[in-house]
Amino acid sequence: MNDSILKNLMLGQATEYASLYSAELLQAVPRSLNREELGIAEQQPFSGCDIWHAYEVSWLNSKGKPVVALARCTVNASSPNIIESKSFKLYLNSFNQTRFASHADVINTLEKDLSNTANSNIKVELFTPDNIQAFATEALPGDCIDDIDISIEDDGFILEPSLLKLDNTGKLVEETLHSHLLKSNCLITNQPDWASVIISYSGKKINRESLLRYLISFRQHNEFHEQCVERIFTDIQKFCQTDTLSVQALYTRRGGLDINPYRTNKENNKAPLRRINRQ
């Protein structure tokens, strides 16, 4: 990682909350920092996006009356930058005492500023708190692997991609697995990040115990949400040689935001809009 870029982030530093609109609060982190380590900086083996949900969005209408909303922001995985989460939170707070003429003005402002930060077009949707269906939760698809009875030694909490192994049957399958046991730590603050992860693939059958051990090995690993999902994708592809692969992580919220990265090499690369009760 490039320390000169990361040390200038507001993340982990004491900051004041601005209540008047300020686009300058947004900070970018180049995706290339982590992709260089993974060997995919020049060409990525996936497409996808990062879906953000913002639960604490508020501004004033033209008469000064507060308005509240929930937002969904979709950032393409091909964008040069990710948006640093604390800066996103501070930026949203800067709307709190700012007047906007309409919801459309808020959306246009969000899309312009976020797109400038990511250096790519970002789609923003706003929802009223009463729009329950837009944020409905659901059970995850496929088989949960969390009930596999395994013992974990101390070194089992150190990231180890070589834990990934194929099932010794050599059977070809197309299946979806999920786990609620993914935990990593923030790259800057070391605060825990919690997620449920869905892995859909076709190809030779993956040994489920090895997959669970691999996911658990992230428990002390420091990386941003988007970076963890790209690492999971590239590790599975390398060690299991899947034909098709999709990885989606649903992270619990922090600071009124949750992030849901999705990476796939399937032709239909549209990210499923999922939320679960942990969020």
Active site members? 186, 193
216: closest CA among 165, 158, 147? 158
* 245 Cβ contact list (under 8 Å, min separation 6): 46, 199, 200, 201, 233, 236, 237, 264, 265, 266
HSE-CB of 279 using CA atoms within 13 angstroms? 24
Q: Where are the beta strands (DSSP E) in 142-270?
A: 143-144, 172-185, 192-204, 244-251, 257-264
d(CA 246, CA 229): 10
| Structure tokens, 80 | 């040069």
d(CA 21, CA 216): 41
What number of H helices and E strands is found in the chain? 6, 10
Bridge-based pairing state of the strands 143-144 and 172-185: parallel
DSSP state of 63: T
How is 213-232 classified by DSSP, letter by letter? HHHHGGGG-B--HHHHHHHH
**Would you state the torsion angle of the CA atoms of residues 166, 248, 279, 71, taken in this order, to the nearest 10 degrees?**
180
Burial of 150 (0-12, 13-18, 19+ CB in 10 A): exposed
